Amino acid sequence: MKSTFPRKLPQPISVVRLVEMVGDAVVADNVENKEVLSIASPSEAEDGSLVFCNKTDESQAQKVIQDTKATVIVAAVKVPVRPGQGLIVAEDPLAWFIRALNIVFKDTSDAAIHPSVSIDSRSRVGNRVEIGMGTAIDRDCQIGDNCRIGSHCYLGPGTVLGDGCFVQNNVTVGSVGLGYHFTAEDERLFFPHLGCVLIGTDAVVGSGSVIVRGELEDTMIGDRTRLGNLVNVGHNVRIGSDCAVSSGTCIAGGVRIDERCNIAVGVSINAKVRVGHDCQIGLGSVVTKNIAPGISVFGVPAAPIRTMRRF
């Protein structure tokens, strides 16, 4: 099976022009009159490709650069290049490379709402919004400018998406959760979910995720927070800004997660737990108790671990 890489650019761009547009880099060697024709990893690059090398050890960086067929390399250190290669030096090559990708692959087409999309007349959709096939937007929703909503999504009553949000395919936002109360007579009473889901600016919700609206509070997701695929967020949950929640994580109702937390794949967080700011929760952990700010935890049940690296 043939790889789809190197990925051709919609339009070639000169290296000098790209460096001017991205900034925060030094043109080290041999980039004059060179054009970027494609993007790839070092191992799949070809003549005309732009790649990045994060190695800070000169000998390791040298090996990557010597082995790749790429024409232009963004690297963290200045090392000799082969004839015909060009070198760009940036403090953070990956960040520079990502910014370059956002320039060369920028979607210039007009945002579009698929004809099959259902939008309640009481909802408001901002400017330059893209909505995929089969999505339904219920009453009183507010969709900010420059949002992208995938195919076959459901946004429940009162859902708010801030500007620049990206909701991927098959996502449900604003559904109801369990919300049962058992009386002394063993009667099961369903608690009406009167709250909404409020999502801040530039947030991302991965495919297949479910975010339940609140009962007597709103469920809230902060600015720039990213949820991976198949994440479940229960009612009344509050997640702060700049958090990353990896795929398959389950967050029970009433949980509070403060700013800048990183949560790995497959984590479970019990109801009403408080996770302080700048915490990390390791792969597959089960969180049953509050976590103080700045603490890294791992295990079942999750316990502090000093050796965990930031992920």
Is the predicted pLDDT of residue 281 greater than 70, yes or no? Answer: yes
Averaged pLDDT of the chain: 92
Banded pLDDT at 118 (limits 50, 70, 90):
very high
Q: What pLDDT shows up at residue 137?
A: 97
pLDDT tens column, 235-272: 999 999 999 999 999 999 999 999 999 999 999 999 99
Which of 74, 104, 134 is the last residue in one of the domains? 104
Banded pLDDT at 296 (limits 50, 70, 90):
very high
**269 contacts 246 by C-beta, under 8 angstroms:** no
Distance CA 95, CA 244 (A): 17
CA dihedral 128, 133, 134, 137 (to 10 degrees): -10
Q: Are 138 and 223 in the same domain?
A: yes
Sign of CA dihedral 277, 279, 284, 290: negative
Active site residues: 235
Is the predicted pLDDT of residue 6 greater than 90, yes or no? Answer: yes
* Structural domains of the chain, count: 2
> What CATH number is attached to the domain comprising 92?
3.40.1390.10
Mean pLDDT of 39-60: 92
Task: Let me know if residue 58 belongs to a domain.
Answer: yes
DSSP lists the bridge partners of residue 173 as 155, 211
Q: In degrees rounded to 5, what are phi and psi of residue 112?
A: -135, 145
Q: Are 56 and 176 in the same domain?
A: no
> What CATH number is attached to the domain comprising 184?
2.160.10.10
Distance CA 110, CA 290 (A): 46
Task: Let me know if residue 311 belongs to a domain.
Answer: no
Count of alpha carbons within 13 Å of 231, Cβ hemisphere only? 28
Banded pLDDT at 42 (limits 50, 70, 90):
very high
Is the predicted pLDDT of residue 203 greater than 90, yes or no? Answer: yes
Banded pLDDT at 16 (limits 50, 70, 90):
confident
Could you tell me the residue range of the domain that residue 175 belongs to? 118-304
Q: Are 271 and 146 in the same domain?
A: yes
pTM tops 0.85 = no
β-strands 180-182, 188-190 pairing: antiparallel
